[in-house]
Amino acid sequence: MSRPMMILIAGPYRSGTGDDPARMAENLARLEAAAWPIFRKGHVPMIGEWAALPILRGAAEGAGGGAPGGALWDQVMHPTAHRLLQRCDGVLRLPGASAGADQDVRIAGELGLPVWHALDEIPEVTEVAA
């Protein structure tokens, strides 16, 4: 492979947390743990929450809150990942129950994007531009 890809890392974020912020942070850390190996392969890792959380915070300031599962949350979180998928070249689906990650995989399939289930399945870039 000669061209770096932007790869969306999809997996549980809110799922199974009971909306506990500490457990959600643990899930985000698991997603982020895949970022460095993807980068080392020559690609750009992306996690939907990296983009969605600042949007949600900005929107919540004017709308009175963005609690998990609320109307504002639903308007921002998954739609952000779906918009990102329009710019991504593939998806790494990490283990764990997640309706949102399953939806990301479905959309990736509709877009004809590859979906990997393990880091070692992702090809390395052989010629990285400086």
Domain for residue 5, yes or no?
Answer: no
Domain tally, the chain = 1
Domain for residue 82, yes or no?
Answer: yes
Domain for residue 87, yes or no?
Answer: yes
pLDDT, tens only, 95-109: 999 999 999 999 999
Domain for residue 13, yes or no?
Answer: no
Q: For 90, list phi and psi in degrees, rounded to 5.
A: 180, 170
Residue 77 structural domain: 26-119
Name the pLDDT band for 111 (thresholds 50, 70, 90).
very high
Whole-prediction pTM = 0.90
Domain for residue 50, yes or no?
Answer: yes
Alpha helices in 33-114 (DSSP H): 35-40, 48-63, 71-85, 99-111
Domain for residue 56, yes or no?
Answer: yes
